[in-house]
Amino acid sequence: MLFASCETSYQATDTGTIVVVPESTKQAFMAQYPSSTNVVWSNYDPNVIVLNDWDLTGWQVMDVSDYVVRFDMDNENYYAWYDNDGTWIGSAYVVRDYATLPSAVSATLNRQFPGYAINSVHREFQKDRVAYEVDLKTSNGKATVLIDKDGNIIKQKTKSY
């Protein structure tokens, strides 16, 4: 449900609450994702589990005055984050078919993490960077790795059991 005024838009979230989205933020989103459908805005909530690990990705820290928008595009469920000034922070979507990962990413995972299984993958993009945040697991521990499309590890975190 979308209501418009000259300065703000009101978007009903999927939880039924109303979120006031500045017109500049909404316009920035529509310019970037004109073919998006099923758009649902919400205020950023740091207590909700997000798709990406902010510390790992190096994205700017967000707070409750910022926005997250969930939408569909190209048969994928996307998320995008905007600050309270309407500046795009980044976007991500879940990669369901691991066979679609760039061969360089798969090769790095196989070489650097033998014996680990992929738990989940998120394709993230920010400004001029595309990366894959990969959660891996093994019987002895887990790892989260941020890998660029060329297979270079940008950051990683590991934890042994």
Q: Residue 152's closest CA among 97, 93, 112?
A: 112
Which residue ranges make up each domain of the chain?
Answer: 2-93, 98-160
Say if residues 143 and 157 touch (Cβ distance below 8 Å). yes
pTM value is 0.78
CATH of 98-160, one of 3.20.20.70, 3.10.450.360, 3.40.50.11540, 1.10.287.990: 3.10.450.360
Tokens linked to 25: 């933020």
In whole angstroms, what is the distance from residue 13 CA to residue 131 CA? 28
Say if residues 146 and 109 touch (Cβ distance below 8 Å). no
Say if residue 144's pLDDT is above 80: yes
Q: Coil, helix or strand for 116?
A: coil
Q: What is the pLDDT of residues 42-57, one digit of tens each?
A: 998 877 756 656 555 6
